[in-house]
Chains A and B, each alone.
Chain A
Amino acid sequence: MLDINNNHLIITYGASDPITTIAGYIASGHNTGNWNGPGIISSAALTNPSGLLYGIGYADGNDHVVTGLTSGQIEVAYTLLGDANLDGLVNGSDFNILAANFNQSITGWDQGDFNYDGLVNASDFNELAANFNQGVSGAASAGDIAALDAFAAANGLSLPTSSVPEPASTFLFGVLALGGLLQVRRSRRLGRA
């Protein structure tokens, strides 16, 4: 096992893009959330500091999602679930990536597949929503929250509440707003599959 703990690594490859292999290492190491399988693991991801959900994100420079990551490079990083662009934040930018690929068989963390199952679906949305606005030093914008809410409503998604962290003072407003939104969402859940 390669345990990246809370670090990151860069693979600068040649003609052949090894992203499938790397994704396989991570999925194998993830081992349905136990992070103890052969491959790439993160012991730090098991601890969920501050109640947040962490994992190993990865991105291929060819996807042009991560700022500064060029074609021919792969980045693997310990980060928040939902942080599609590996900037350490879970915000509207990440949500937009997920939304664009939602319900598609698109693989890749940087495409919104945060649980390594080869799909971008409600499970990934839930992980993103649970960490939404984390890592951000400020309140989530009203627009981001509205977009998230609308997306959930449009897709019949149940916004998670149990994983919503205790708000830090610096972005208290945003999280409270999201929490309120979640409550509203529960009350008017459409129940669509």
Chain B
Amino acid sequence: MTRPRRPPRRPSPAPSPPIPSTPAPVAAARRSTVGKRWFWAAGLAALLVALTVLAWRVGVPATRAEAVEFEFPEPNFATLTEPKIRELCSRCHLFPAPDILPREQWSTTIWQMYVEAGYGRTVPWPLAPAELIAWYEQRAPEHLPVSSAVNDAARGAGEASPPTVEFHQRNVLLSDQPHPFTSDIQIANVLRSDALEVVVCDMHSGAILLAGADSLLGATQRGPAATVGHVTHPARVHVVDLDQDGRQDLVVADLGSFMALDHNLGSVVWLRQTDDATFEPIPLATQLGRVADVQTDDIDGDGDLDLLVAEFGWKFTGHVIVFENESTAPGDVRFSRHDIDGLAGAMQIAAGDFDHDGRRDMLVLYSQQHEMLRYYLQRGEFVYEVVDIHRAPHPAWGYTGFQLADLDGDDDLDVLLTNGDMFDNSIVKPYHGIEWLENQGALRFEPQWLTALPGAYRAVAADVDNDGDQDIVACALVENPQFIGDASRSQFDGLIWLEQTHRGQFVRHAIDRDSPQHATLAIADLDRDGWLELLVGAGEFQAISTAAAAVLVEVWRTPGETP
């Protein structure tokens, strides 16, 4: 076989580029015509494409491209272990066991704490909140065993022994303000007349009201009260002759806001009684956090009255403060501030020489995450040794107040305590109630549980049945029923008394069974007939009614008394 002959190659003047697919002269000729054509065609096409793209792109936001560039970091949390949980959840308070809250509440609670910890910035938070929540939810009960069971059990205890005294609601003190909320009641001889007066704080309107006992006990059954002062939102009032001029004054602890907030609107206001029995408002301390309580005492022993202030604050505000009286003459009102402690949640304060060393000390009840009673024992001028005498078992306990009283008649001061705060999560808790700390000397106290009372807000020791020992009257504040799920508020007692039958032994009796709307109470023999009257504050935080004449104070009396 012979191979077909190739056409002879045209000699080229210069070395041609290797392997041209078309003979060079033809390619050159085509480049001259086709190349131009393609050039124009390509140019036109490019122009069209550019025009179209330009038109299409009009109005497309430039930020779209940026989205792709954003870096999404993965959460950086450690693996969950029980020791780590216990360590994390004990940093700011006692470790809360999972069974103190119902399952569904843990999510809200833990996320809230995570936020308050600055998302791990202000308080290191090594665990993923969602995993921590799951750990708690797995171990928490679906519901807390409250509803009526707690009260029924407690009521049952009382039924075994009929009460020796029965109370009937007789009189009411009305407010001319819509939905009042009575935060404090004091009974004292303010105007130096023959009769006692009742001082009432309406936390909602800010009014400080004064009513004669007669108007509460008189034949009219109902009586108005006179407004003697006004602060923003009074929490407590203290009756005292502050300037020692022979006239009783009022010193008011002003929260500064109705709802809980960190702010500097709180204050202490002195309502100074003048010659004509009117009251001149004089701010003694301003730009404080929420002031929950104020008392007066000659804490430095220099002969004048100083102010002891429980500045509750809220989350990052709050102190125990002593304002030292440096006034030198009537009209010269001067107090200098001494910060004693910087914890939030100081809700009540009392003074006394608790360690019997001749110096005045302070006792402060803390709620919030602390839930404890703390002594401030004075060791030098405004120098205090701190001794915690009692701490609740967990941070959801909800202390609401205390009273110093010799409950067991052994000539020392015991502490009567209530825990029933529902403003943290509006849940009725089975561990709300009343306890007392039996003073065993040497700054030691033995806690004794008395009775369960959902929403327990105030307990006062008094000899209710005139048998010579101290009984206890207590009231409860359960928030609006819409916030407590299927548990009807009427299931819970609003006012009870615990009859001391033997030394340190108490039997419960209900007085008001279906309206737990009482944040405070006071007890006195208003008509001086030898039997005590109970004055109970009324009010709701979320009251819907705007009735012009709402109840401010209820008066409960025994049946033997004159109506």
| A and B together in one complex | no
